Amino acid sequence: MFNQVDLLITRSPDKIFTEILINSAGICDLLKIKNSRSSRLDNLTMIPREHFMKSIAKNSIHWTYSVAIFCALFALQPQKATAATLSNGWNYAIDSFNDGVTGPQIGGGEFEFYGIAIKETSDTAFIAINSNLSLAGYAEPLAQRGNINYGDLFFNFSGQNFKTANASGSLFGIRFAGGNDSSVATTGVYSNVTAKNVTQTNSGFTNLSLFNDRVLSAGGTPSTGDLAATDPYFEQTGNWTVLNSIATGTKVGEINFLTPATLSALGLNFGQFNAVGSQTIGFSFNKSSMPSGNYIANFFAECANDAIAIKGSFEQGYAEPVPEPATIFGTLAGFAILGIGAAKRKIKCKIS
């Protein structure tokens, strides 16, 4: 009686798949090697069964071990991210690199915002911004205060567009630029927020449609991070309709500024997206200051010369595990041991 066993392996380095069919017949095994890209038999040999099964055992263990190591490395390797992509615990939104308006310059100037990233633990939220605008702002004689800064950072958990959420006072806001035109007294986290327009007093755009037209006319690509430049989440037309600064709100928490070294230790890496702004601004706050759930967060320059929005969510009691080197090597070793054990059990079943 003939017993057929099928085994599919990969032959390196050209990755050509080879199908091996074994017909058991007495003391020797008839080995047929067939190229899976054609129907012809490439080789026909007679080999001792014992030698063949030992060869299969070694190859199977080696193959299973390699796959286990690959899977472990793949699981531990941060994947290249795009907008609003989770990487090393950070949720990133990357903006267009050529839509910041700085005088006649489009792209690459002081008002180029590259990205925003948000990370959370069970009790803390971390915010990082990469741009060319420092917290000191941009000197502009035509601005009311002689300086244009960041607007405030808004969080909208309502599921409504920004204008509707603003009308009901259901926004949350963070004043992180102490020298801006916000109506609240100090930096920090605020609830029951309403927003106001300050582009009019900062030599800025009347509305977003005019901003988009200006960028497009110079060959730039307007965008708002996770949102398209023309997304109806924001009002696009009208007079002074860009709402970019806190008008009213109740302070519910403080923010703590973070150094670039601290952000790096937390796994932040804007460079993986080629977001290479001269400024990386970071701060954290207690998550108890905001609800859990899905949100859209955004900020504008006070002149609306650039903006970024990010989609994300806060989970109640969520803790982001941070694997240490010993854990990583332990994981690799565990995968390897499991892989070898599985291969041996599989081969034992086939031989028996």
**187-242, pLDDT tens digit by residue?**
999 999 999 999 999 999 999 999 999 999 999 999 999 999 999 999 999 999 99
The pTM for the full model equals 0.69
DSSP 207: S
Say whether both 117 and 73 belong to one domain. no
* Residues 82-90, mean pLDDT to the nearest whole number: 76
Hunting for tokens 């990205």 — which residue is that? 115
DSSP 134: -
pLDDT at 162: 99
Cβ-Cβ contacts under 8 Å for 243 (sequence gap 6 or more): 162, 163, 166, 195, 196, 197, 235
Whether 84 is covered by a domain: the verdict is no
Whether 320 is covered by a domain: the verdict is no
What is the chain's mean pLDDT, rounded?
Answer: 79
pLDDT at 48: 46
Residue 101 above 90 pLDDT?
yes
d(CA 108, CA 305): 12
Say whether both 268 and 138 belong to one domain. yes
Residue 172 above 60 pLDDT?
yes
Whether 8 is covered by a domain: the verdict is yes
Say whether both 60 and 24 belong to one domain. yes
Report the DSSP beta bridge partners of residue 263.
none
Say whether both 345 and 297 belong to one domain. no
Say whether both 264 and 207 belong to one domain. yes
pLDDT at 316: 85
Cβ-Cβ contacts under 8 Å for 303 (sequence gap 6 or more): 111, 140, 143, 148, 199, 202, 203, 204, 205
Say whether both 124 and 187 belong to one domain. yes
Lowest mean pLDDT among 67-81, 103-117, 201-215, 240-254: 67-81
* Residues 13-29, mean pLDDT to the nearest whole number: 35
Whether 83 is covered by a domain: the verdict is no
* Residues 159-167, mean pLDDT to the nearest whole number: 99
Say whether both 96 and 57 belong to one domain. no
DSSP 272: G
Lowest mean pLDDT among 112-116, 247-251, 342-346: 342-346
Residue 64 above 80 pLDDT?
no
Rg (alpha carbons) of the chain, rounded to whole number = 29
Residue 243's domain comprises 90-314
User: What confidence tier does 180 reach under pLDDT thresholds 50, 70, 90?
Assistant: very high
Say whether both 337 and 207 belong to one domain. no
CA 182, 184, 189, 190 torsion: positive or negative? negative
Whether 342 is covered by a domain: the verdict is yes
Whether 104 is covered by a domain: the verdict is yes
Whether 178 is covered by a domain: the verdict is yes
Q: Is 169 left (phi over 0), alpha (psi -120 to 50) or beta?
A: left
pLDDT at 85: 77
Whether 20 is covered by a domain: the verdict is yes
Say whether both 152 and 40 belong to one domain. no
Say whether both 118 and 35 belong to one domain. no
* Residues 160-166, mean pLDDT to the nearest whole number: 99
Encoded tokens for 244: 């970019």
Hunting for tokens 């839509």 — which residue is that? 99
Residue 261 above 60 pLDDT?
yes
pLDDT at 23: 36
How crowded is residue 22: how many other Cβ atoms within 10 Å of its Cβ?
21
Burial of 163 (0-12, 13-18, 19+ CB in 10 A): middle
* Residues 10-31, mean pLDDT to the nearest whole number: 35
Domains contained in the chain, number:
2
User: What confidence tier does 84 reach under pLDDT thresholds 50, 70, 90?
Assistant: low
Say whether both 113 and 246 belong to one domain. yes
d(CA 16, CA 18): 6
H or E segment and range at residue 226:
none
Say whether both 111 and 216 belong to one domain. yes
